[in-house]
Structure 1
Amino acid sequence: MVPEGWTEEYVKGLVRSLDAGVSVNSEDDGNENATHKILKTSCVSYGYFKSDETKSVIEQSEIARLREPVIANSIIISRMNTPALVGANAYVEIALNNTYLPDRLWQLKPKNKVVEMRWLAYWLGSAHTRYRLSNLGTGTSGSMKNITKSDVLNLALLVPPLPEQKKIAQILSTWDKAISTTEQLLANSQQQKKALMQQLLTGKKRLLDENGVRFSGEWKFVVFSDAFKIANQKSTQVKSSDYLSFGDVPIVDQGQKLIAGFCNNSEHYKDIPVIIFGDHTRCIKWVDFAFCPGADGTQILVSRSTLDIKFGYFLLSHVDIPNLGYSRHMRVLKELEFKIPSDLREQHSIAAVLTLAENEIKKYEQKLDALKQEKKALMQQLLTGKRRVKVDEEAA
């Protein structure tokens, strides 16, 4: 059903052209003196145009081959990428001087007064359209897909009147600004935590004790076995094939996510808190709730009497463990030495400060996730006409 006042169109009827760049030799060196740049495919990977995702084109013969400059009020589209990112696009508001497209990117150029390009970029970036483009993609490799110009230009869509397009784009742009601001706050918090860890976990910065006196006790070196103990309980482990989407007990394994799934096992790990170390992945997790561990590569660590366990968690998070691929990394961990304060009170104080920094990061991560989910739901409503916007009479 077509919303009142909307029309059925094809992308090709809304734009002037869809143009491709060319493949040239470039240098990924961040050369500030380079007069010509070429975009990386990653400039549109996540729906926002990253103007600094470029390579330098140095050779005059390669510069002469450059074809499509990045113009204002256009949309950059990834024609070749992974199944999840093929068709990824972003709106370009301002032209970039001497910056050009590679052959893996297209530029959708506007047709005057026919469509609001920022609105069209939101429509192209919607979950529904991205799903359609990914399904249209072809390729012999399972890791890469290609779409054609015809795939993009022949997409059918419902188009609201131009004033409504502009209003929708304005609303969604406000959400983008909130997301961008939160992302920057998150990045700042992550950087601050990293700097704090570098200072506090090496003794370069000493904290004050409960009496306001700076800790001055010496630090000592300990080997892994003097600080940590492996406390795996095989009877509580759950195979990945037995993970449930819902259940009474969360499962923590060596993957990136804190909770990988659920189970309803009556026997689970209750002696908390513990540290989880991913034997294959090198992931470090703090777990302070009852759980079942994953069966493969999930190592449960507890601290010995010389170590505050939360301090131990941050200590392991700060250690640089070389990537050995899918090999076991516990053997590397067992060979390391750790420098720790002799005074448990200082360890506890350091852990408390770093916990506050970590909680700040979690707060922004949760806020960012909520904003993205809310924007996604709003896009689905506004771009389909299920929810209409009010347009000023003057604008209409």
Structure 2
Amino acid sequence: QEQYFNSNEGYKVISIGNYSEAGTYVETGNFISKSYHKQVERYILNSGDLAMILNDKTAIGTIIGRVLLVDKDDTYVMNQRTMRLTPKQEVSSKYIQLLINSDFVHSRIVGMAKPGTQIYVNTDDILNFTLYLPIVKDEQDAIASFLLDFEKEVATLNQRLNKTRQIKQGMMQELLTGKTRLVNRNLKEVVHG
């Protein structure tokens, strides 16, 4: 498929570089022109599909077995060593994504990895892998929604923490260079210049 790659437009190519340790998509700028639709048709992913990476460049397996949730039809095409998982209609794709990317399941997948230039798992390893999940899809969706909301809250708090650290660094620089002075020992009054 690599002979079809370009960096401008078309289907976004999902390959090893697109997976983060958290199981989120990393943009790499690799595309396959839609004019090659017939040649890549069987690799085109659909909304709700999960793309799983079957190998890892690291010996500890930071991304092996991670899955990306495809959110749009006719947008992504999978490259080599990527496996398409299409959940049954009664199974929540978001729940499966969170479950497979969880530390518990990920460590089990890493445990199945075979050695090589890059560690890897086979499609049969994944097809024979057992996952336990709530029977009712509504419960799966509710759990996924709760966890995703929680993830967003953690991300917001981390952003706030990083911003506060930046402000602290700026204040330290100003206070330690004498650019800003503390007039009141209780830190209630700051004088600039």
TM-score of the superposition, structure 1-length normalised?
0.38
Q: For 1:228-264, what per-residue CA distance to the aligned partner results, in whole angstroms no more than 9, with x for missing partners?
A: xxxxxxxxxxxxxxxxxxxxxxxxxxxxxxxxxxxxx
User: Residues 19 and 66 of structure 2 are in contact (CA less than 8 Å); yes or no, is this contact kept in structure 1?
Assistant: yes
**Aligned counterparts, 1:183-332, within 5 A:** 189=163
Change (3 A) 1:54 1:166: same
Q: Percent identity?
A: 16
Is residue 2:43 matched to residue 1:43? no
Change (3 A) 1:46 1:72: same
User: Residues 79 and 86 of structure 1 are in contact (CA less than 8 Å); yes or no, is this contact kept in structure 2?
Assistant: yes
Q: Measure how far apart 1:79 and its partner are.
A: 0.8
- Equivalent position of 1:244 in the other structure: none
- Equivalent position of 1:152 in the other structure: 126
- Equivalent position of 1:125 in the other structure: 101
**Aligned partner of residue 84 in structure 2, secondary structure:** strand
Runs of 4+ more than 6 Å apart: none
User: Residues 45 and 78 of structure 2 are in contact (CA less than 8 Å); yes or no, is this contact kept in structure 1?
Assistant: yes
**Aligned counterparts, 1:339-350, within 5 A:** 347-349=177-179
Q: Measure how far apart 1:120 and its partner are.
A: 1.6
User: Residues 16 and 53 of structure 2 are in contact (CA less than 8 Å); yes or no, is this contact kept in structure 1?
Assistant: yes
RCO comparison, higher one (Cα < 8 Å, 6+)? 2
Q: Give the total of aligned pairs.
A: 174
Q: Measure how far apart 1:49 and its partner are.
A: 3.2
Change (3 A) 1:68 1:182: farther
Q: Measure how far apart 1:346 and its partner are.
A: 8.5
- Equivalent position of 2:86 in the other structure: 109
Structure showing the higher helix proportion among its residues: 2
Change (3 A) 1:74 1:182: farther
Change (3 A) 1:176 1:161: same
CA distance in 2, matches of 1:182, 1:90: 24
TM-score of the superposition, structure 2-length normalised?
0.71
User: Residues 10 and 34 of structure 2 are in contact (CA less than 8 Å); yes or no, is this contact kept in structure 1?
Assistant: no
Give the one of 59, 62, 65 matched to 1:84: 62
Change (3 A) 1:170 1:68: same
- Which one-letter code corresponds to 1:171 in the other structure? F
Is residue 2:143 matched to residue 1:165? no
Moved more, 127-136 or 96-105: 96-105
- Which one-letter code corresponds to 2:20 in the other structure? S
- Long gaps (5+) in structure 2: 183-193
CA distance in 2, matches of 1:112, 1:41: 28
- Which one-letter code corresponds to 1:106 in the other structure? M
**Aligned counterparts, 1:23-34, within 5 A:** 23-25=1-3, 26-27=5-6, 29=7, 31=8, 34=9
CA distance in 2, matches of 1:51, 1:171: 24
Larger Rg: 1
